[in-house]
Structure 1
Amino acid sequence: MPDHATPASAAHLSRAHVDSWLLSLGAEVGENPPSIEELRASASWRVTKPLRAVRGRERLSRVRSRRLPFRLPSLDASSDLESSREALHQRLRAIEPHLLPHQPSAHRPALSVEELLGELCARALADQSSEDSEHPRASLWLVIVAVSGCFPDHNLLLGLSRDISEATEREAVARILHHCGVWATRHGSAQRRISVVDDKIVAFVNLTGRFGFNSGVQRVTRETLARWYPSGEIELTVMTDDGTALRALGESEADRVIAWNQTKSDDTSELDDDDFALIVPWRTTLFLPEIVSGTNALTLGALARFTPNTCVALVYDSIPASTGFAVPRLENLRFSTYLSMLKYFDKGIAISASSAEEFQGFTAALEAQGLRGPEITSVLLPIEHIPETDGADEPSADELPLVLSVGSNEPRKNQLAVIYAAEVLWRRGLAFRLQIVGGRGDTGLTEIGEAARALRSLGRSIEVLRDVDESTLSRAYKSARFSVFVSLHEGYGLPVAESLAVGTPVVTTRYGSTAEIAEGGGCILVDPRDDDEIVEAIASLLTDDTLLGSLNEQIDARRDATWDDYAVAIRASVTGESGALA
């Protein structure tokens, strides 16, 4: 941003003009709106019908779940006007020190809403015309946040930027009010208050803060931030329900992130967005340990594109794009919006070297769009040894050895190949139990369950368990002679790490991230597309106690990173500063 001060001649609208705008929020936009018959006869009405239906259902669902309060128009216009003025003034004052390099406030009288609005809009107009600024529309982005109470998406910011490009200062203020009024009306954001954060890292923990489930991504987020947050360097945020802004967390939401335990697994946040200030990152770092999609990705993508923040994301895998046939179609669509956001980020920290290679390919492809894309590095996820769990005793001598296959119900997990290998060995006369454990996944994928039922009807010892808790999963790993995880494509391969963490050897894929984990020992590597290799690897671990003992010794000798190590490495990668966490 240029160092020159905003001219004292900045055009100010009258109080009556601003008050009229505030009163209009929530009313019809325009003096002569078309009739409903005219709207329904238009091409745009027909084209947007599916989108209106989807958005209508989403808003109704939010109202019913009390995540989007239903408000009737207020009968006290004067009270609404005064509270709206106060909220607008608070937001404008919050951004003032970041855009207007005035003398210290003690030597400067407080500006009215109209004066402050005029000077801030004049600054945004001047900055977007400056050739010296790396982010010429950053000031306009911040002004939109203050005036509308919403973070702008790409279309809003670009449209407004073009609309004011040849305008006088007074015209620019009026046009900014007009554009922002549409958003403030649509999202009911006139009463929001903001806090501009420029001295902490702003971490986005929307799923982790709002919900108690603890999948792979949420586990990484919680384990990392639970160790980093006490340093005082982190400001936790979630997205508002309408997807238009970051807000502070309530106490219960923060506990789900930094103090999670199994009792919180079914938690869902019921807090009202309006009870919390918006958090506006400015000249700081935005850190995304979660995957973002949909409207949230559009909002954060515009923030990354237009503001002077450094934006860093943990990136997990590119499976929805590169192995799209193996995931539900909705995941493909969500991932496309995620990539549309990520391309404006500064850095991506992959969870494995294999994952990093994939995202480096994505970054290289962005050259065709004239974009630099994020710098991609990697920090391998840790292998944290699981504490002993009651009920996980060694199997008795007369109990069949257990072969364990852990993985969600997805084709890429390749569990049908494991079932096939087991049936081949049962036919050879080997005696063992096969247990398949993991998430239920797409209910339309029934092959695993059907194959298991068919084999049980033949007297085979096969069991499928879905959506088990962590203690059950831990007991399964400890009870197994070995585990099998021959996935076709992974960003990391958590079942391999979990098995090694309890001292259980693994048959796993010889390429990608699983091979990276296996480098420390304790694994037999196979080609997951070669059924014969899988069969022989399982047979060898069922029949060769010497080989099994050797793998156990390798596991005992491993010196793997812990979550403490991982949190330190992530902080160093995000901040560029080494050293232990406070």
Structure 2
Amino acid sequence: MSPGSTSLLAPHTALTALDQRLLQAASALLDPLPELPRTDHPGAIAAHLLPALVESCQGRQRTAARWLLLTAAFGAFPTSDQLLEFGRRLELQPSHAAQTQLLADVLGDAGRGRLDLPMTIVTGGTLVDVDHSARNDTHTGIHRVVREVTPRWRDRHGATAVAWIDQYSAFRALSAQEEARIFHYGSPLPESPEGEADSGPGSLVVPWRSTVVLVDVPNTRADEQLAALARFSGNTLALIGYDMIPITSADTRPFSDSVAFGQYLSVVKHAHRVAASARQRRRSSPASPTPSRHRACPGPRWPRWRW
């Protein structure tokens, strides 16, 4: 089954994956975890856990729980509109009606994410979005930064590198070839297993009370999901700001670049932290009592990159 193809998805495959994702969500949201049914029938675990999961989302302050439940149900990160709609439904409908409607929405919008994949929750960790550099061999400015800092963050701080599923609605684990592009660039890529696409199958990776760092070339197809993640998921969103050229020098760039960058700012405005890619230097004012020399402005303590 190719990514995004849901018409060929066998029901037992979808239900088995749904069981696993909802069990992961329940492990994060429910304490204690309800006793699970003693059956291997696909869908039994989901049917058993869904009422308690929906109940855990009651209350306007429970936005993070709603974000995680919708992610588990759809195999995709929700947008802000989808989260708000689900919240209104919880307030206006009985719990059993909200459960039924949620499952109906999953079936009606099966192409939103990957219903066939299990998910892994990363709690209290750091996820680094390296999608563009993982998929491509390009090695210019931003890609060099990605391939320089990501291995350091993994080795020193245990950061997890992730890419996006082809729908750009959820993170996923990297394939072997993508791992090589990020952590062993310049070495021969491992052979891809027969029938496996370069972005191909693995598991969804979901941050929970974690930090998500955007260091790569942004893809505007994920803007709505990232904005909702920053606003409602309880995770922290950080990013590197390289430049504002698509805005400040829009006349020198293709019109599509300026439009895409403007859309990306809808994510930036909800970010919890923005770090510059380099420290700016400024000349002291003549009236300043400090010596007239170049002085580095205070900046974030990102690793110093050597090319």
Is residue 198–residue 283 contact of structure 1 (8 Å, CA) maintained in 2? yes
Using the TM superposition, give the Cα deviation of residue 318 of structure 1 relative to its aligned residue in structure 2, in angstroms.
1.3
State whether structure 2 residue 31 is matched by structure 1 residue 101.
yes
Write the distance in 2 (CA, Å) between the matches of 1:69 and 1:144: 18
* Rounded Cα–Cα distance in structure 1 between residues aligned with 2:153 and 2:83: 34
Q: Any idea what SS the aligned residue of 1:334 has?
A: helix
Aligned match for 1:226, one of 140, 151, 170 = 151
1:114 partner amino acid: A
**1:233 Cα offset (Å):** 1.2
Q: Is the 8 A contact 2:128 2:214 kept in 1?
A: yes
2:177 to 237, 252, 277: 252
- Paired letter, 1:323: S
- Counterpart of 1:342 in structure 2 is 268
Tell me the C-alpha RMSD between the 2 structures: 2.8
Larger radius of gyration: 1
Equivalent runs, 1:355-374 vs 2, <5 Å: none
Name whichever structure is richer in helix by fraction. Answer: 1
**Is residue 2:29 matched to residue 1:81?**
no
Q: Counterparts of 1:71 and 1:100 in 2: how far apart (Å)?
A: 30
Q: Is the 8 A contact 1:228 1:571 kept in 2?
A: no
Deviations, residues 167-205 of structure 1 (Å, cap 9, x unaligned): 111111122223333332x24632121001014211100
Counterpart amino acid of 1:127? G
For 2:166, the aligned partner's letter is D
Residue in structure 2 matched with residue 115 of structure 1 by the alignment: 48
Hey, what does 1:241 align to over in structure 2?
166
Indicate conservation of the 8 Å contact 1:293/1:335, yes or no.
Answer: no
What letter corresponds to residue 17 of structure 2 in structure 1?
A
Q: Is the 8 A contact 1:300 1:341 kept in 2?
A: yes
Unaligned runs of 5+ in 2: 38-44, 190-195, 284-295
The aligned counterpart of 1:197 is: 122
Give the C-alpha shift of residue 67 in structure 1.
7.1
Q: Secondary structure at the match of 1:244?
A: coil
The alpha-carbon deviation at position 218 of structure 1 amounts to 0.8
- Relative to structure 1, the CA distance from residue 285 to residue 326 in structure 2 (aligned partners, 3 Å threshold; closer, same or farther) is same
1:154 maps to which residue? 80
Residue-pair matches, total = 278
Q: CA deviation at 1:261?
A: 2.0
Over 3 Å counting, the alpha-carbon distance change for 1:84 and 1:72 in structure 2 is closer
- Structure 1 position 570, deviation (Å): 2.0
Q: Give the secondary structure class of the aligned counterpart of 1:276.
A: coil
CA separation in 2, counterparts of 1:250 and 1:73?
23
Asked which structure has the greater RCO (Cα within 8 Å, sep 6+), the reply is 2
How far, CA to CA, are the matches of 1:144 and 1:120 in structure 2?
A: 10
User: Are 2:225 and 1:296 equivalent residues in the alignment?
Assistant: no
Q: Deviations over 1:41-81 (max 9, x none)?
A: xxxxxxxxxxxxxxxxxxxxxxxxx974757646xxxxx33
Shift in alpha-carbon separation, 1:251–1:340, aligned structure 2, 3 A: same
**Identity fraction in percent:** 24
Structure 2 matches for 1:273-422, cutoff 5 A? 273=200, 275-352=201-278, 380=279
The superposition leaves residues 286-338 of structure 1 with CA deviations (integer Å, 9 ceiling, x where unpaired) of 11112323111222121111111111101111121222112110101110121
CA contact 1:127–1:139 (8 Å) conserved in 2: no
Q: Distance in 1 between matches of 2:152 and 2:143?
A: 14
Q: Unmatched 5+ residue regions in structure 1?
A: 1-65, 75-79, 353-379, 381-512, 520-559, 561-565, 573-582
Is contact 1:291-1:315 (8 Å) kept? Answer: no
Task: Tell me which residue corresponds to 1:405.
Answer: none
When residues 71 and 99 of structure 1 are mapped into structure 2, their CA distance, relative to the original with a 3 A threshold, is closer
Kept in 2: contact 1:149–1:189 (CA 8 A): yes
1:478-493 aligned at under 5 Å gives the runs none
- Contact residue 201 and residue 287 of structure 1 kept, 8 A: yes
Hey, what does 2:193 align to over in structure 1?
Answer: none
SS of 2:109's partner is helix
Distance 1:140 1:212 in 2: 37
Q: TM-score, normalised by structure 2?
A: 0.81
Deviations 1:467-499 (A, max 9, x none): xxxxxxxxxxxxxxxxxxxxxxxxxxxxxxxxx
TM-score between the two structures when normalised by the length of structure 1: 0.44
